[in-house]
Structure 1
């Protein structure tokens, strides 16, 4: 356990290396602040003794001025320390947030299918915020507390060994107890974060499906689940809080005993004339000051438990490994790419095969139309082609090269895909169309959008390509979103493009216009078109018909259309497009 904790802390502190200069400055300022905190009670003690001895007013004014200067200086340094501490915390943990998000984006779809977006937000931001809060105050309060404790006890040993011994015993007992039980609330805090993540996942899931919730009258059901999730958060949060405050309650009891003993000794020494009234005040003040760093340490034990639970969850996430491993090849043949499936089988779960022993080939520059009923494996075929999932058996080749041998960026650079769901990002229209690629010029964007029939729409926008779009897609109609997605893909000039029903949301007139544009844009690439409308396949070269994950039919489109016994010809003859739905 100790070794695991040491490794965790070592891993976490690597994120502090880039801000080590500010850490050094912070340490210097802490030392100055501690010195000022130790000086002021001594000034007050001198002031009391001077006043008790009927000293000069000028001396009292001088001491009062010194007290004011030290107090103001200490306050200014405290503000600066707090600012720099938070700056250090956020700079270091933002790097951790970035690493977590980058890692999540590289994980395969099997992982993401098990996690809701709300849960991932809590993992990437919520857990790290706990670590950030710990970092922000750790140096300021923990290191500062130890320095202040050392200064108080060191000075008191010069004043009175017995009183200093009592104060030291209290300090050691408080620190020892906090060290012993520092992990008491870690697992409960971890459970608290998990239930909080589940709550965020529920909220995100239901808000994303708000149309279905409202249209089907499911609001009471959603609220019932919400209240149950909230109850779980409350119960786990209460348990975690109760375990976290044990160190604080312990220090309160120890402090009460220590103060009683110190004050009794101090009063005794004052009454016997061994110390002055000012020194009695100084002893009392230092005893009170002793409690502040102890309380801060207790608070930081609580924050440590929260931070450690976040740290453990962050490390769990970073230790997750994707089943999609990038290859080492980058080069593919120039121009359009051939596509080949050889004995490919795939399943999401072992008891439910999705693709069964698929074997077919599409030559470079050809267009393949894929048809089949819902659940036949059409979309799964496109997902394994893009390596969103690994196949369980067989080989997929593009340009004659096994896709598992290719580096993932090389694959995605040459293979494009248009899905029916379009994701908009918060940014300009240009950024959304180019996906923030600065190398694409406005002329290229406008030329492609013009061929897809988006020119009139863009010209009607208040700022053209500089128009700001909100995330989520609410500013686009379904048809515009489809054209939008096509623009994105064709701007990358892919060598192989997969179109998942590119005209499913378009009216007949727009579909006809779009078909001409797509034909033009696909002249220099290989195309795979997943269709739910037979009209979409009029320009393809080959037809692949799937049924329950098997190839029912594959061949030249014209040959299949002229063969009355083929599945494709029967669909054409009857016009039963509903069989493809």
Structure 2
């Protein structure tokens, strides 16, 4: 969705407002630097004229000293402007990066299923990096360039108005050309950013699947995809660059014409004794200086095109809206929470329903075991319960309250979930177990891990709970990771727990230990156990068998086990646990 420059600028001011004090100081420094640049050629003019008139040496030394002071001052101001400009840039763009990341974390899973992590990194960081120069220096350099231009032209009109008129025409023509073609490369720059995001997405996807790539001999295919993606980045980048430099090339041609005209006029006036040698040098110096702000404006037009493409892409991302609308209720009943699905229909895609008319009830404190073949809808039940997706129709109630009426924080505070995949974050063991919640005491952490059988592993770590873990979980075995995830959930003291295939990665001994811990920790909450192994369901109260998104069977576990015609009993008799895979 294309957006105009005006809303982009008003959106930009939101991020520049917190650094307005630094921007003001930056502007003052830039004006001081501009003044120093204007003064130096005038000092040189007086030096040349004094020397040509056989002036006294002391006067020349004073002029040389003054020139040196202004030159040093200008260098100091240049360093200060560069430092402050980058400081403003990072402060403003980091705030934007934070807003983009926070917004993405709040978007629903339908959005994230369409985006690779590599692409999102490029959208959150790469696009914003292209805007950093715009945040730091665009407005300041544009203002500074116009002030310098005004100073040069204004002073030149006091010296020689025909030459000043030529310089003014060149300036107006250059600025007019840049304004006219300022958006020429925006669309191509946006396409370049899109191609770069696709490349990063490809790299991230292939690295994440490196085991499959190597095991199946797919390295040549991956490299072919990589080279094609790189070529796409190159072609789109070249096109964008060629369009972005057109304003700069235009000013180069105009400047060559202007310098030629000014020098011819200057030499003419010098030969006819209408100006001094120092004044001729001043005209030449100011003509050269005139090109600097024009070039800066040309460079900033290029930066504007890159920045605007980044702004448009960032605005598109911020304009994405989640389908999950929060409710207003923040309170759930105390104690274990009941669960009710009332005629629930759900699909990831409109043309492919996943859940069909799902209706069941779990009373507070009960445990429900859910079994079914892969693709039967087991995990989808947990996803809609946690509001990772919206249901198509029907109602899901927790504690007797429609989950759509609850604030998400209130739902997640009381409902916990243990999945097969455990995510570890770069931080201490304590931080990973508590998810950076400093209110959970070490005694409670160690007590919970001891009941779960994880304390021995913690004690074996060099620094205990202070041991630093790397992101990704490479330091944990499959069994340890599952116990780790279970500990993490139960430390929050949930009232409803979903165990999604909790023992699928465990050996028999670890599974037995896990089952014992689960029995203890689930005494005061309601449990939903999604299982591959029938042994995991020995302690549940009810069994629900799913098939093709429908409830094939629901009832008390003992009753179904004794009924030889039930699906559950057939699985127990044949021991064909592979039917659940």
Alignment of 1:522-561 (within 5 A): 522-561=522-561
Are the counterparts in 1 of residues 378 and 546 from structure 2 also a CA contact under 8 Å? yes
Moved more, 1-10 or 327-336: 1-10
Give the structure 1 partner of residue 164 of structure 2. Answer: 164
What are the superposed Cα offsets for residues 514-548 of structure 1, whole Å, 9 maximum, x if unpaired? 11111111111100000000000000011010000
Are the counterparts in 2 of residues 138 and 300 from structure 1 also a CA contact under 8 Å? yes
Specify the SS of the correspondent of 2:331: coil
Unaligned runs of 5+ in 2: none
Are the counterparts in 2 of residues 415 and 496 from structure 1 also a CA contact under 8 Å? yes
How far apart, in 1, do the equivalents of 2:366 and 2:482 lie?
Answer: 23
Are the counterparts in 1 of residues 3 and 312 from structure 2 also a CA contact under 8 Å? no
Are the counterparts in 2 of residues 418 and 489 from structure 1 also a CA contact under 8 Å? yes
How far apart, in 2, do the equivalents of 1:3 and 1:376 lie?
Answer: 44
Are the counterparts in 2 of residues 544 and 555 from structure 1 also a CA contact under 8 Å? yes
How far apart, in 2, do the equivalents of 1:213 and 1:121 lie?
Answer: 23
Give the structure 2 partner of residue 319 of structure 1. Answer: 319
Specify the SS of the correspondent of 1:471: coil
How far apart, in 1, do the equivalents of 2:567 and 2:57 lie?
Answer: 110
Unaligned runs of 5+ in 1: none
Give the structure 1 partner of residue 477 of structure 2. Answer: 477
Are the counterparts in 2 of residues 103 and 318 from structure 1 also a CA contact under 8 Å? yes
Are the counterparts in 1 of residues 417 and 498 from structure 2 also a CA contact under 8 Å? yes
Moved more, 143-152 or 317-326: 143-152
Q: CA RMSD in A?
A: 1.1
Are the counterparts in 1 of residues 8 and 311 from structure 2 also a CA contact under 8 Å? yes
Q: Normalising by structure 1, what TM-score?
A: 0.99
Are the counterparts in 2 of residues 85 and 139 from structure 1 also a CA contact under 8 Å? no
Cα distance change, pair 383–251 in 1 and its aligned pair in 2 (3 A): same
Alignment of 1:285-324 (within 5 A): 285-324=285-324
Deviation at residue 140 of structure 1 after TM alignment: 4.0
Deviation at residue 46 of structure 1 after TM alignment: 1.1
Give the structure 1 partner of residue 187 of structure 2. Answer: 187
The 4+ residue runs of structure 1 with deviation greater than 3 A are: none
2:127 paired with 1:132? no
Are the counterparts in 1 of residues 2 and 312 from structure 2 also a CA contact under 8 Å? no
What are the superposed Cα offsets for residues 137-181 of structure 1, whole Å, 9 maximum, x if unpaired? 213422211111111111111111111111111001000110010
Are the counterparts in 2 of residues 81 and 140 from structure 1 also a CA contact under 8 Å? no
Specify the SS of the correspondent of 1:440: coil
How far apart, in 2, do the equivalents of 1:301 and 1:477 lie?
Answer: 54
Cα distance change, pair 242–329 in 1 and its aligned pair in 2 (3 A): same
Are the counterparts in 1 of residues 396 and 402 from structure 2 also a CA contact under 8 Å? yes
Cα distance change, pair 127–3 in 1 and its aligned pair in 2 (3 A): closer
Are the counterparts in 1 of residues 16 and 135 from structure 2 also a CA contact under 8 Å? no
How far apart, in 2, do the equivalents of 1:227 and 1:239 lie?
Answer: 18
Deviation at residue 308 of structure 1 after TM alignment: 0.4
What are the superposed Cα offsets for residues 344-393 of structure 1, whole Å, 9 maximum, x if unpaired? 11111122111100100000000000000001000111100100000101
How far apart, in 2, do the equivalents of 1:50 and 1:3 lie?
Answer: 58
2:370 paired with 1:361? no
Give the structure 1 partner of residue 232 of structure 2. Answer: 232
Give the structure 1 partner of residue 388 of structure 2. Answer: 388
Give the structure 2 partner of residue 49 of structure 1. Answer: 49
Deviation at residue 565 of structure 1 after TM alignment: 1.1
Specify the SS of the correspondent of 1:324: coil
2:77 paired with 1:77? yes
How far apart, in 1, do the equivalents of 2:143 and 2:423 lie?
Answer: 47
